[in-house]
Chain A
Amino acid sequence: MIRAIGAAVLAMATLAGGRADVQAQAVALTGGLVYPISSEPVEGGTVLFVDGRIAAVGVDVDIPAGAEVVDVTGSVVMPGIIDAMSYYGIAGEDMNEVPNPLTPELRIIEAFAPFGTFGSGEAGEIRVRELLSGGVTATYIGPGDATVVGGQGAVVKTAGARFDDLIVREPAAIDITLGGRPASTYREQSRSPSTRMAVVAQLRDLLVRTQEWMATSDAADAGPRNLGMEALARMLRGEIPARVQANATRDIRVAIELAEEFGFELVIDAGAGAHQMRDELADRGIPVVLGPISHPYISGEEIPDPGDYGGVDERNAVWLNEAGVHVSLASFSRGFGRFGPGVAGQWLLIDASIARGHGMSEADVLRAVTLNPAEVLGVADRLGSLEAGKDADLVVFDGDPLSIRTWATRVYVGGQLVYEREN
């Protein structure tokens, strides 16, 4: 029956001479335990999506004639996992423009290569199988953390027919790093900024120059163009946030001070010491994209430097969440099996499980890898929850999504089945 309907849809597509994915295509996942994230779980629920968008979620959903019906009884259906920080698909040598500590004009999307390593894989639609196996359907990618202002990040999906289909938001933020990491980059080269003080001074100076530039060239639309200033002006006008990587409390403090001084929207990245400032972060409404807890993310270094890294704790997410801080869990992973300081991206739910074990509720934990990242990335109108009108990016798990034994068995991106696993 299902096969017959599928064949009919395919035949229609063929007759129309177009690709199947642009034809009216309805899929109904029935019988599963549905976690919409934006609302209470639904047992025995149906998720219906048409033309790549979610049409309905609930128990009594009218399934249109001709829809492909997939019985997922016994499984869990939830929105695709969103990794709020990774370097996925970025070659190591493309992560940091080390010769210049301040490069707001750089765009990570121009280094993004989701096609697999040279000479491997098969031709066809783009599938980042490694991430899809963990149910990850979107990720933020940004420049690395070895310099002060790395450039502009983007939100991308992990599957799509063409490269442009992958891009959800670009630029999505300006990536900035405070603390010992950029200082050590330039200290090794005996050049500035080789101290925390100089890192902050150079950043502040750049923001002052941007204000001046905005007041003259940008405002009058008359002066010579400056790509870096244009990018920073977007940040200062509040169109995109600053993603500031800061682990130690002193660096988080500096980030807050700069955000106040220049009036930009601030997101704290990594945040190993953020729990020590949780009340202040909650009061100010500053979200945190937390580094992985299954391996201590240490800003590119293997072993914690206590000067930079006072008090990593597996309960970080729990404490921040309890205090009312907007928390996302992120992998900070490198792509293609690269041995990086973060965890491998497909295992983000393992970090979520650890937070669950320490007392964060199931609802809050799952939110921290779906809707919260969507919100912090500015894409919650399209991603992060199962709601009518949103992109049909969703995962079917064969059990409790927080059990280490559970597998993603079906992953849909834009309504297309892009990953399937039989167990």
Chain B
Amino acid sequence: MRFTLCKVELTHGVLAALVGGLAPAVVTTAARAQEAPVALVGARIHTAAGPAIENGTIVFADGVITALGAGVAPPAGAEVVDVSGMVIMPGMLDNHSHIGADSRDLNEFPVRFGPQHRIRDVLSPDDAFWKGAVKGGVTTVITGPGSGEVSSGQAIVIKTWGESIDERVVKERGGLKIAMGRKRPDQSPTTSMAVTAMLRAKFIEAQEYQARWDAWEEGGQEGPAPPRDLAMEAVVRVLTGEDRIRAHVHQAHDILAIIRLSQEFDFSLAIHHSTEAYKVADDIAEAGIDVVGMPLFTRIALADEVMATGTLMNEKGVRFTFHTDDPVVGSKWQRGNAGLGIRYGMTEQDALEAVTINPAAIAGVEDRVGSLEVGKDADIVVLNGTWYEVSTLVTRVYVNGMVAYDREGEVP
């Protein structure tokens, strides 16, 4: 239906204009790279890499942060932007999103195991919802297929703003989605047991598939190569560590089941939604897996224990991040998740990291995004107050050093 949204906008806006002979410049030629250095001066800066900097300056050039601190002087020729009284935080990440895709394209229901499916192939650059994410200060998302199947395919790490989908990709391997727990009753597997059994069988099948290829390689590539299997290739990437599993899982027994599989087949794992993670927190900590957890902002009424998942995971030393599951909650409310986390006992710093550096590290892109540090991408959010309050507005967002959103230019 999102696609419809775009189509209607095009029909009413662009086509009407074309028919009327007033063709606007539909394709804008936005600058592809930041031109002059920019210095944001005077804000309280939450870097997510250390304590907040009061009255700080952040300088970036060519899309990368070049200097940061309290006593930093803007370089000659820099565009100096006075942001005194404002608050700066890193562009946020949302590690579990479906943004950019039509919801009808998220699940190939007849295929119970479809790791060959790629979200990248259905991402629309026009999706109006990307804008909402940018406005909310979410500059990178891991967007992926749905949870209707045992595996629905491959996610991608991508920025929410930029010239084209291809240019916005931060990392192709955003994780292979699997969904634990019961499935629709029309086709096997339907029970949690059967889902786990199917996964075990598929991982074994992938090991055998890889063994065939290894044998062919080791045999000097004699004879015809084994037939390629796109589904198995995706699973093999998980087994070799090139990609990791992102597992949709709510119930405690399913969390234990996927941990068991991760140990049996030695793959890297993040559990998503993680509603009952609080019941098996010690098992999670011992397994050293990542948790992408609740709440989903104001969308679902949940028990206090679930709302406080972040607090508990931090106590246990588990890497934790919030998610919006866009469109379940708009990506722009990721900041509100952090606010609720603080409400339920997280420290401000832990909650900040849970929407910035933690999701970046879980996605394996912490070298580029997730904190404000010299050498990292200039993905910067400027706010008019306390960063985690929902009454605070994002006033400006930079992505790769370029203004991706500016409230001044938008109001009313």
Interface residues of A (CB under 8 A from B): 130, 292, 294-296, 301-307, 315, 333, 336-339, 343-347, 350-351, 353-354, 356-358, 402-405, 407
Contact = CB atoms under 8 A, between A and B. Distances in A.
Nearest to A309: B5
Given A130-B301, A302-B103, A404-B336, A295 B330 contact: yes
B50 interface: no
A404 B4 contact: no
14 contacts: A294-B297, A294-B298, A294-B333, A305-B1, A306-B4, A337-B300, A337-B302, A350-B336, A353-B389, A353-B390, A353-B391, A402-B391, A403-B389, A404-B388
Residue in A338, A345, A405 whose Cβ sees the most chain B Cβ within 10 Å = A405
B219 interface: no
A389 B55 CA distance: 52
B409 interface: no
Contacts of A405: 339, 342-343
A211 B380 CA distance: 62
Contacts of B1: 301, 303-305
A351 B298 CA distance: 9
B393 A357 contact: yes
A303 B389 contact: no
Contact of A337 (B4, B301, B327, B328): B301
Given A294-B336, A295-B329, A315-B412, A304 B5 contact: yes
Contact of B390 (A294, A315, A338, A346): A294
B299 to A, nearest CB: 6
A346 B301 contact: yes
Contacts of B302: 337
A344 B103 CA distance: 23
A357 B298 contact: no
B340 interface: yes
Given A295-B329, A303-B103, A305-B1, A356 B301 contact: no
B301 A404 contact: no
Closest 3 CB pairs of A and B: A357-B391, A347-B298, A404-B339
Given A296-B330, A306-B5, A337-B301, 12 more contacts: A294-B298, A295-B299, A301-B1, A302-B328, A303-B103, A315-B412, A337-B302, A344-B298, A354-B390, A357-B390, A404-B340, A404-B342
B393 A358 contact: yes
A339 B302 CA distance: 10
Contacts of B299: 295, 339, 343-344
A315 B2 CA distance: 22
B9 interface: yes
A305 to B, nearest CB: 6
Nearest to A402: B391
B240 interface: no
- Per DSSP, chain B at the interface is loop
Contacts of A295: 297-299, 329-330, 333
A304 B412 CA distance: 22
B111 interface: no
B215 interface: no
Contacts of B4: 305-306
A336 B389 CA distance: 26
Interface residues on B, range: 20 to 34
Contacts of A294: 297-298, 333, 336, 390
A350 B307 CA distance: 15
Interface string B368-412: 000000000000000000001111110000000000000000001
Nearest to B342: A405
B8 interface: yes
Contact of A354 (B5, B8, B391): B391
Contact of A350 (B2, B328, B390): B390
A295 B327 CA distance: 9
Given A302-B103, A303-B2, A404 B300 contact: no
A344 B8 contact: no
Contacts of B389: 353, 357, 403-404
B337 to A, nearest CB: 10
B76 to A, nearest CB: 38
Contact of A307 (B8, B301, B412): B8
Contacts of A407: 343
A344 B391 contact: no
Contacts of A336: 301
A304 B127 CA distance: 12
A302 B327 contact: yes
Nearest to A355: B391
Contacts of A307: 8
Nearest to A353: B391
Interface string B76-113: 00000000000000000000000000010000000000
Contact of A356 (B2, B327, B330, B391): B391
Interface string B246-284: 000000000000000000000000000000000000000
Contacts of B412: 315
Contacts of B297: 294-295
Nearest to A338: B301
A337 B295 CA distance: 12
Residue in B298, B327, B329, B340 whose Cβ sees the most chain A Cβ within 10 Å = B298
B346 to A, nearest CB: 11
A345 B299 CA distance: 9
A131 B392 CA distance: 25
Contact of B8 (A296, A306, A339): A306
A292 B333 CA distance: 13
A144 to B, nearest CB: 18
Contacts of A402: 391
A357 B301 contact: no
B97 to A, nearest CB: 14
Contacts of B328: 302
Contacts of A346: 301
A390 B393 CA distance: 37
A90 to B, nearest CB: 14
A306 B9 contact: yes
Residue in A292, A303, A339 whose Cβ sees the most chain B Cβ within 10 Å = A303
A340 to B, nearest CB: 9
B390 A404 contact: yes
Interface in B315-338: 327-330, 333, 336
Contacts of B339: 404-405
A405 B333 CA distance: 16
Contact of B300 (A292, A306, A344): A344
B407 to A, nearest CB: 10
A344 B306 CA distance: 15
A307 B301 CA distance: 30
Interface string B133-157: 0000000000000000000000000
Contacts of B300: 337, 339, 344
Contacts of A333: 301
Contacts of A345: 301
Contacts of A350: 298, 336, 390
Nearest to A421: B304
Contacts of B298: 292, 294-295, 343-344, 347, 350-351
Nearest to B303: A337
Residue in A306, A353, A354, A358 whose Cβ sees the most chain B Cβ within 10 Å = A306
